[in-house]
Amino acid sequence: MPEPDEPPRPPHLAPLAAVLPPLFIGTATFNTQYVYDPINMPYRGIVRHALVDLGVNGFDTSPYYGPSETLLGEALEATGVERSRYFLETKAGRVHGTGFDYSRDAIQASVRRSLQRLRTTYVDLVFAHDAEFMSPAEVVTAVRALRALRSEGVLRYVGISGFPVDVLASLAEHILAETGEPVDAVLSYGHCTVQNTRLLGDPVVQMHKAGVSVVLNASLLNMGLLTTRGVDNGPQAKWHPSPPALRDVCADVARVCQQDPLPASLNMKGIEQVALRYSMDLWAREAVAAQVATTAFADTSIGSSVLGVTTLEELDETMLEWWSVLDGLGVPHGSIERLQEITGIGSEPDGQAKKEAGLARTATIKKFVEERLWPVFGTHKDFAWASPEEGWVNELKLSGEAEAKL
């Protein structure tokens, strides 16, 4: 139950589902984990193009993502767009690859530092980052620390993020039982993709029953696994947690997308577009069925996705697929002028024609994934590596204990 000094939810806050954008630009890619030189990547152009030209008003980051918060804050400020017109989410608790600090002081200090880096006075949503690495009691401590900042207006909503969906669901239940208030959001990554759909079904139902307002689907390319380049030919080779066998089978799937392509009329270049479209469309629908979708877009319930890009071209390709998903759902998106600019389409087709085209694209891609890609994945379909791995030790806690003995 709530502790005596635990602040209640501010009464003016609407449920998160009523305000959360359906699409986020994830800025883990503004980091040396994904690009060799993030300072010289077009991060300013990506943020401006997304927010000003394309109407994408959700941005996700973390202090764990190297310079990401700083670069994102600089880029957002440079757009001149009012703070109230975009939704910012960051994370706290993960200090480095093998170090976590979920103590009240560390969590709150992390958020206040994020405010400085992001050049803002508040963050809309903060997640306890990669919560599966910590004990349930430590996660509750972090959530309570974030809620204390919520009462100060420093942040508005509180969530947990991580990899194993069963652990995230159990933590959501535990937070509700211990504090008497559900966590607002769960951010799951790598579990609603062409390779792994384990988020669907029991875990997300369990999250909903634990009172979670919204579940966000992130890392639709599973941190670079589902790309033509793969994770062995870039910065991810140094840190990606996937086992070699999974990397190999993902490379085989990428080759299938090049050698046995989708119909030319779909104009898809490789596994990246196939994977993004499949996951965005799948989660847009499945989150609604599980009652963990956002209702803040065009008066329509839709599952919210978080995806990262490194170039303006990737952003445009992704948006074309997103708009097609919306078309298939019959959701107006007001993006026809930008669509014309990108594709050269001369006039706007009527709503029914767009819906039929979107649904046809969805059906073709779904059939390709299930009939051509899933057999290649074989036993690695729905495989997920252990997180944390067996024997993992929190180096920060270990060093703290060592210091205490001195």
Question: CA-CA distance, 12 to 256, in Å (whole number)?
Answer: 52
Q: What is the 3-state secondary structure (H, E, C) of 324-363?
A: HHHHHHCCCCCCHHHHHHHHCCCCCCCHHHHHHHHHHHHH
* Nearest one of 206, 216, 156 to 186, comparing CA atoms: 216
Q: Are 26 and 46 in contact (CB under 8 A)?
A: no
| Strand spans (E) along 298-374 | 300-302, 304-307
CA 100 to chain centre: 20
Burial pattern 210-227, b for ≥16 Cβ within 10 A else e, equals bebbbbbbbbbbbbbbbb
Bridge-partner residues for 159, per DSSP? Answer: 127, 185
φ/ψ of residue 186, rounded to 5: -125, 130
Question: CA-CA distance, 211 to 184, in Å (whole number)?
Answer: 8
Q: Are 161 and 131 in contact (CB under 8 A)?
A: yes
Q: Phi/psi class of residue 23: alpha, beta or left (left: φ > 0; alpha: ψ in -120 to 50)?
A: beta
Which residue numbers are catalytic? 65
Q: Please report, as a single letter, which amino acid is at residue 345.
A: I
Question: CA-CA distance, 399 to 406, in Å (whole number)?
Answer: 11
Question: CA-CA distance, 141 to 126, in Å (whole number)?
Answer: 14
Cα separations in angstroms, 79 against 73, 90, 115, 254, 393? 10, 19, 18, 36, 42
Question: CA-CA distance, 341 to 61, in Å (whole number)?
Answer: 29
Bridge-partner residues for 113, per DSSP? Answer: none
Q: Please report, as a single letter, which amino acid is at residue 5.
A: D
Per DSSP, the three-state class of 300 is: strand
DSSP character at residue 261:
P
* Nearest one of 253, 136, 124 to 193, comparing CA atoms: 253
